[in-house]
């Protein structure tokens, strides 16, 4: 038996100690389950043990990635025809959490002197779901980039099509895909960065249409959720079957890039595509 001074603290004592730590100062990594203090984790928000990148708002991502940034189509939002009170409450909460009017932030700017169009989906806005205005903003981003002869970088993070907007939401998959095709036919570069999580209708359309598809370490990348798959095939898939590392092994991703290296890697790829070195 251990001497009293080495005894494991009781749960009650642990709870008391945890209660004295301010909200948000302790996080548990969903990948490796390490618990850690977040006092030094800004701005990249990484797990110190496994490098998993916690979710960022679109604005935080822009600050990490861009040297200059000018937002476009910020006013586009959920159409008035969706009047359901529960849905309206979700939208209001998303606005409050992100400062955005929709689940994607779009605009133009520079990374290391390279001009580019950029879109960032925000998982804090109704789970980054693809609504009518989300699709419209991404479509306009591609069309404006085509007109300006610029590449597009898109960070995806989404639960998929937005059920509350029904068929109008599903239509965005085709609409954005058509804009991606127009951009591609103009010989322009499209780089996707798959962030945790990228699923559903976003995976089934523009998240997989990049000329180059990068992903963050341990990001969940899939179409249907684990429970749906288990109930459909009556088997238990391996624990890592929808993680970026597994998806890379199966050829759907070109590279996994850790968050601290991402900005430089994107700048290098933009420069390479322009024929500079």
Please choose, out of 5-13, 43-51, 157-165, 182-190, the segment that lies near Zn ion by the rule CB under 5 A.
43-51
**Nearest approach, Cβ of 96 to Zn ion (angstroms)?**
28
138 touches 154 (CB < 8 A): yes
What gap in Å lies between CA 214 and CA 221, rounded to an integer?
Answer: 11
Element (H, E) at 155: strand 152-158
Give the list of residues 6+ apart from residue 7 with CB closer than 8 angstroms, or none: none
Size of the residue set binding Zn ion (CB under 5 A): 8
Pick the closer one to Zn ion by CB: 41 or 87: 41
**Nearest approach, Cβ of 44 to Zn ion (angstroms)?**
13
The verdict on 49 binding Zn ion (CB under 5 A) reads yes
The verdict on 220 binding Zn ion (CB under 5 A) reads no
Pick the closer one to Zn ion by CB: 30 or 237: 30
What gap in Å lies between CA 262 and CA 238, rounded to an integer?
Answer: 28
What gap in Å lies between CA 90 and CA 169, rounded to an integer?
Answer: 16
Please choose, out of 34-42, 87-95, 126-134, 195-203, the segment that lies near Zn ion by the rule CB under 5 A.
34-42
**Nearest approach, Cβ of 243 to Zn ion (angstroms)?**
12
**Nearest approach, Cβ of 259 to Zn ion (angstroms)?**
13
Label residues 119-151 b or e (16+ Cβ within 10 Å = b): bbbbbbbbbbbbbbbbbbbbbbbbebbbeeebb
Pairing mode, strands 68-71 and 152-158:
unpaired
Site string for Zn ion, 52-81 (x = CB under 5 A): x-----------------------------
3-32 residues in contact with Zn ion (CB under 5 A) are 29, 31-32
**Nearest approach, Cβ of 155 to Zn ion (angstroms)?**
20
Q: How far is the CA of 33 from the CAs of 18, 49, 51, in angstroms?
A: 17, 9, 12
Count CB neighbours of 269 within 10 A: 22
Pick the closer one to Zn ion by CB: 32 or 37: 32
Pick the closer one to Zn ion by CB: 36 or 82: 36
Pick the closer one to Zn ion by CB: 15 or 34: 34
Among 21, 26, 37, 50, binds Zn ion (CB under 5 A): 50
Label residues 174-204 b or e (16+ Cβ within 10 Å = b): ebbbebbeebbeeebbbbbbbbbbbbbbbbb
198 touches 177 (CB < 8 A): no
Pick the closer one to Zn ion by CB: 34 or 96: 34
Please choose, out of 44-52, 117-125, 179-187, 241-249, the segment that lies near Zn ion by the rule CB under 5 A.
44-52
Please choose, out of 50-58, 193-201, 237-245, 259-267, the segment that lies near Zn ion by the rule CB under 5 A.
50-58
Binding residues for Zn ion, rule: CB under 5 A, are 29, 31-32, 34, 47, 49-50, 52
């Amino acid at each position: 038996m251990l001497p009293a001074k080495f005894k494991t603290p009781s749960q009650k004592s642990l709870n008391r100690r945890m209660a004295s730590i301010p909200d948000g100062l302790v996080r548990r990594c969903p990948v490796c389950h390490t618990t850690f203090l977040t006092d030094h984790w800004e701005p990249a928000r990484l797990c110190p043990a496994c490098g998993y990148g916690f979710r960022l708002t679109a604005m935080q991502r822009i600050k990490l990635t861009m040297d200059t940034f000018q937002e476009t189509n910020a006013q586009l939002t959920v159409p008035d025809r969706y009047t359901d009170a529960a849905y309206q409450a979700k939208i209001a909460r998303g606005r409050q959490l992100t400062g955005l009017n929709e689940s994607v932030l779009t605009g133009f700017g520079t990374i290391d002197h390279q001009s580019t169009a950029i879109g960032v989906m925000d998982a804090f806005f109704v789970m980054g779901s693809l609504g009518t205005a989300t699709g419209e903003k991404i479509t306009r981003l591609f069309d404006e980039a085509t007109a300006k002869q610029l590449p597009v970088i898109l960070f995806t993070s989404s639960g998929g099509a937005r059920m509350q907007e029904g068929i109008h939401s599903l239509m965005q998959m085709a609409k954005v895909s058509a804009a991606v095709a127009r951009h591609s036919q103009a010989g322009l570069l499209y780089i996707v960065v798959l962030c945790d999580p990228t699923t559903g209708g976003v995976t089934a359309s523009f998240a997989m249409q990049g000329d180059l598809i990068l992903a963050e370490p341990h990001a969940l990348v899939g179409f249907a959720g684990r429970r749906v798959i288990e109930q459909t095939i009556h088997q238990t898939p391996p624990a890592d079957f929808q993680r970026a590392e597994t998806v890379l092994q199966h050829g759907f991703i070109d590279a996994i890039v850790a968050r601290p290296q991402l900005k430089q890697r994107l700048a290098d790829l933009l420069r390479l595509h322009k024929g500079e070195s």
